[in-house]
Structure 1
Amino acid sequence: MADTLFLDDWDALTRERDARFSATLDRVFAYHPFYKDLLTRARLRRRDISGVADLSKLPVTTRKDYLANPAGFVLAWPEAATADESIVWDVMHTAQAAGAPAPFVSTSYDFVNILALNRNMLRLRGTEQSDSILNLFPLTRHPNGAFTRAMNAASAYNIPVIAAMPGAPNARQPDIGNPLEEVVAIAARSRATVLWGVSSYVRKVVARAEELGVELPHVRLVFAAGDGLGAAARDDLIARLKRLGANDPKISVSYDASEMQGGMVECVPGAGFHNPAPDQFCFEAVDPDSHKPVPDGAEGLLLLTHLDRRGTVMLRYALGDMARLTRERCPHCGALTERLVSMPRRTDGFVKIRGKLVDPQVLSDALAGEAAVADFQALVEKEEEGDVLSRDRLRIKIAPTGEPDETLSRRLAERVRTAIGIRPVIELTTAEDPVLAGRGWTTRPLVDLRKKKRR
């Protein structure tokens, strides 16, 4: 089979995609509860969709549609279906800021594709056969692709993986779950060359290693997922790793989606986020109102279509982010696939504070690029609790690296003011602060407490 990441031209890739998408569409029109109904109401028949060129004929599906009926997105196979297509291999769950996570079903057929997807992610990121991975994702109550797929990725690439198992000890099994200091010790004794986890937690591990004087000379790659990593934060993390003995560490940021069971990844910093499996996924950028495709390089609402799935299947599914997409061959690695050439931003991600729209990622980058900050959490609240008419206040809890000097609070407040135009109240605390210690792995840099107070 041809390597679909590096085909000669888009015509060859389109032929490969259409063959897989055609088989998926046959099954969607026959067995998909949600789309059978949606396509009937849209008066679309199977012969109306011949391939990926006809995607724009399909209605856009939203996260609200999916969360309202996750089971309706799973193909309802007849008894005569082949085993690979119909046997459930595993069920992961989407990460939700609020509400119950939604199940995402993969069959035996899908799992082989997931292994290929994750293998390609490692290839694009420069993983070598001599590497080993330290999995810094936590074990969550609902099965989540982050922890599990890091283990699967190592299997697909035939390299070792060590699960650090960060988090509070399990109530029934106290030996399951490790505090930060033990995670640092595991990183040192495992001699892992790749650190893979949520970017804020990876940074926390490296900062704590620096405080404890624990060297990590074997680290050569960091795979940062989950909550973004700006240029200043990237530079700071590289500088910290070099101080811990790493020779020439590289950081690869990803744009992850539970609906992919993987993510779009960088080959080198600044190259954009590559679709690592163009035979499995097709991405579009469309106008958020008309849902018509926008030109390459223009910002649009990001849509995902599954080309080759047999469990949960989604067509023109809105991921909820705006991004700039290109189909040009990557000048760095040569991959021919969709790439996001801008950091995706949530369509609803801005927070209004004192009349200003604040991008939480800009705030996060301003603080994550400061070496004196080990961890932080920004909170938006009312100056007078319970009074909805009182002035907004931005309060930021900071766990400093080491012993803070007397200018730290003032310096950080000015740094934030320069970045977002609002001067915050800086509250110095420790890593054991309940607000910092009690967060899940999908940490948000900015939490709006005003909404909670109104309920």
Structure 2
Amino acid sequence: MSGARARVAALGAVYSDPAALRALQEERFAAQLDRLRTRHPRYREMLQGAEVASLDDFARIAPTGKSDLASDPEAYRLDAADPSDILWDIAYTSGSTSAPTPIFQTARDFRAILTAQLHMAAIRGMSADDRIANLFPLTTQPHGAWTRANHAAAALGCELVVGLGGAAADDYPVTRRTTEIVRMLERTQPTVLWGVPSYLARILEAARSADVPLTGIRMFAASGEACPPALQAQLTQLAAEVGSPDAVVSNSFGASELQCGLVECVPGTGFHNPAPDQFFFETIDDDGAPTSDGEPGRLALTHLDRRGTAFLRYVLGDVVEYTIEPCPECGWAGGRVVAHHRREGSMVKVRGNLFDVTVLGAAVGAVDGVREHQAVVRTASDGMDELVLRVVETADGALDADAVQRAVRAAIRVTPRVERVALFDIHGATGSLKPRRFVDERSS
């Protein structure tokens, strides 16, 4: 039995048995449906008179959009009914195009989150023997990434060290500078670096420059942004240069509405739903009708067992291919995202050319000498749109601006103006979870 298969088997036979798992999901959904009909401000009204009794009846329910939640977050929070429904914590979404939106967790939800974190760890191969370094920044609003990494270590019972990077505050200056974080890592020698991959690379570059050996790294738990092959290769190369030649990148697909992430058992096997008894995923078309298993569609989430913020057919904003076929590597039957096509709303038009900003980002990230970037669309002095690429070059100063222009022009048929900037100009002083890689400064 492979290591991945053994880890999954240890979580329980139900997670490798599609029929048994579906029966459990239906049982959980029936109870959740009763709660939504009686205690949920928004779905109580929506479900009135609706003939919905099982997961097969989903096509009769209108999807919920992010704008629906943002307009009235309290309407998606169940009314408290018993002591376990008391508020435990609040996490906020980190979207860059709207105000942060609260996601409420009850005391019972928090225990469910801990369970999901244990499943994530088992699937990706983390254990109580690891030493985790939480390198997410301390953000302005409570965010699930920073807090849940700490909670995952608590649930596992493993050692934890927290970088506590982020923007400094005058009143209570508790955050650490990069040099302080590097020295902390040298002292503790973690086995898992958990954080936004571009920031993990930044920390390792600082360690390399300071000749700090980090010889115990075996895994990067990457979250918070896409980690394409070029960035994965950069991370493993940097790890080798500081003394950890066998480190691997464990990618993930997270969402604030989950308070956990879908993870890989082995790189390239797809993002596994770690708690299919808590979360049900489907893909839908533009009209809300389910798409076939493994066919592209908009990923939608339904909570099967939740007491705080709870959703029915909530559209997360990603176009993916999702399958419930068991993973051929580990046997997990809880469902997997096997291909991610794009984020919805990522299509932009500049000078008559329509392009996907994710394609733009991949093209820039593949150019040698690019450490970080930000694409800005603005109106030029002649009244026409222009695309500006603000690029941070790597420490060796090998950036070729012409190569950036050629790569972008080949990918999206738009020639950008390239500006060299400092990393701070992209991350800014807000202590944000991740760099803002696309900004549209046009007034309309």
Query: What's 2:246 paired with?
Result: 248
Query: What's 1:93 paired with?
Result: 92
SS at match of 2:434: coil
Query: What's 1:307 paired with?
Result: 304
Cα deviation, residue 50, structure 1? 2.8
SS at match of 1:59: coil
SS at match of 1:342: strand
- d(CA) in 2 for partners of 1:29, 1:350: 37
- d(CA) in 1 for partners of 2:275, 2:225: 22
Identify which of 397, 422, 428 aligns with 1:437: 428
Identify which of 41, 44, 66 aligns with 1:36: 44
Query: What's 1:206 paired with?
Result: 204
- d(CA) in 2 for partners of 1:279, 1:246: 37
- d(CA) in 2 for partners of 1:408, 1:149: 39
Is residue 410 from structure 1 mapped to residue 409 from structure 2 by the alignment? no
Is residue 423 from structure 1 mapped to residue 415 from structure 2 by the alignment? yes
- d(CA) in 2 for partners of 1:200, 1:396: 17
Identify which of 262, 265, 269 aligns with 2:260: 262
SS at match of 1:188: helix
Per the alignment, do residues 5 and 150 of structure 1 end up closer, same or farther by CA in structure 2, a change over 3 Å counting?
farther
Amino acid at match of 1:379: V
Q: List alignment gaps of at least 5 residues for structure 1.
A: none
The question of whether the paired residues in 2 share the 8 Å contact of 1:5 and 1:337 is answered with no
- d(CA) in 1 for partners of 2:288, 2:108: 31
Query: What's 2:126 paired with?
Result: 127
Cα deviation, residue 2, structure 1? 9.4
Per the alignment, do residues 444 and 6 of structure 1 end up closer, same or farther by CA in structure 2, a change over 3 Å counting?
farther
Deviations along 1:65-117, one digit per CA (max 9) or x if unpaired, are 1111111111113xxx3311x21111111223233322111111111100001
SS at match of 2:226: coil
Is residue 70 from structure 1 mapped to residue 73 from structure 2 by the alignment? yes
SS at match of 2:47: helix
Query: What's 1:282 paired with?
Result: 280
Per the alignment, do residues 416 and 214 of structure 1 end up closer, same or farther by CA in structure 2, a change over 3 Å counting?
farther
Deviations along 1:289-328, one digit per CA (max 9) or x if unpaired, are x211111121111110000001111111111211111111
Deviations along 1:104-138, one digit per CA (max 9) or x if unpaired, are 11111111100001111111111132211111111
TM-score w.r.t. the length of structure 1 is 0.90
Query: What's 2:83 paired with?
Result: 83
SS at match of 2:267: coil
SS at match of 2:147: helix
Identify which of 433, 443, 449 aligns with 2:441: 449
SS at match of 2:340: coil
| Correspondence 1:153-168 to 2 at 5 A | 153-168=152-167
Per the alignment, do residues 423 and 299 of structure 1 end up closer, same or farther by CA in structure 2, a change over 3 Å counting?
same
Per the alignment, do residues 266 and 2 of structure 1 end up closer, same or farther by CA in structure 2, a change over 3 Å counting?
closer
Identify which of 329, 332, 341 aligns with 2:329: 332
Per the alignment, do residues 287 and 241 of structure 1 end up closer, same or farther by CA in structure 2, a change over 3 Å counting?
same
Cα deviation, residue 399, structure 1? 2.3
- d(CA) in 2 for partners of 1:184, 1:366: 30
The question of whether the paired residues in 2 share the 8 Å contact of 1:121 and 1:263 is answered with yes
Amino acid at match of 1:27: R
- d(CA) in 2 for partners of 1:408, 1:2: 50
Deviations along 1:212-242, one digit per CA (max 9) or x if unpaired, are 3333221111111122011222122212221
The question of whether the paired residues in 1 share the 8 Å contact of 2:298 and 2:319 is answered with yes
The question of whether the paired residues in 2 share the 8 Å contact of 1:325 and 1:341 is answered with yes
Identify which of 14, 19, 33 aligns with 1:25: 33
Amino acid at match of 2:322: L
Query: What's 2:3 paired with?
Result: none
Per the alignment, do residues 8 and 165 of structure 1 end up closer, same or farther by CA in structure 2, a change over 3 Å counting?
closer
The question of whether the paired residues in 2 share the 8 Å contact of 1:135 and 1:164 is answered with yes
Cα deviation, residue 371, structure 1? 5.2
The question of whether the paired residues in 1 share the 8 Å contact of 2:182 and 2:203 is answered with yes
Farther off after superposition, 93-102 or 187-196: 93-102
- d(CA) in 1 for partners of 2:210, 2:394: 11
Cα deviation, residue 344, structure 1? 4.9
Deviations along 1:117-171, one digit per CA (max 9) or x if unpaired, are 1111111111132211111111122211111011111111111121101112222
Is residue 366 from structure 1 mapped to residue 358 from structure 2 by the alignment? no
Per the alignment, do residues 357 and 218 of structure 1 end up closer, same or farther by CA in structure 2, a change over 3 Å counting?
farther
Query: What's 1:59 paired with?
Result: 62
Per the alignment, do residues 371 and 173 of structure 1 end up closer, same or farther by CA in structure 2, a change over 3 Å counting?
farther
Q: How many residues align?
A: 435
Cα deviation, residue 206, structure 1? 2.1
Q: List alignment gaps of at least 5 residues for structure 2.
A: 1-8
Is residue 182 from structure 1 mapped to residue 173 from structure 2 by the alignment? no
SS at match of 1:282: strand
- d(CA) in 1 for partners of 2:278, 2:13: 11
- d(CA) in 1 for partners of 2:105, 2:207: 38
Cα deviation, residue 274, structure 1? 0.8
Amino acid at match of 2:46: L
The question of whether the paired residues in 2 share the 8 Å contact of 1:5 and 1:278 is answered with no
- d(CA) in 2 for partners of 1:50, 1:198: 40
Per the alignment, do residues 255 and 108 of structure 1 end up closer, same or farther by CA in structure 2, a change over 3 Å counting?
same
Amino acid at match of 1:237: L
The question of whether the paired residues in 1 share the 8 Å contact of 2:427 and 2:434 is answered with no
The question of whether the paired residues in 1 share the 8 Å contact of 2:373 and 2:426 is answered with no
- d(CA) in 2 for partners of 1:211, 1:359: 35
- d(CA) in 2 for partners of 1:154, 1:324: 31
SS at match of 1:195: strand
The question of whether the paired residues in 1 share the 8 Å contact of 2:263 and 2:274 is answered with yes
Query: What's 2:6 paired with?
Result: none
Per the alignment, do residues 280 and 166 of structure 1 end up closer, same or farther by CA in structure 2, a change over 3 Å counting?
same
| Correspondence 1:102-121 to 2 at 5 A | 102-121=101-120
Identify which of 392, 395, 401 aligns with 2:388: 395
Amino acid at match of 2:42: F
- d(CA) in 2 for partners of 1:356, 1:132: 48
Is residue 10 from structure 1 mapped to residue 15 from structure 2 by the alignment? no
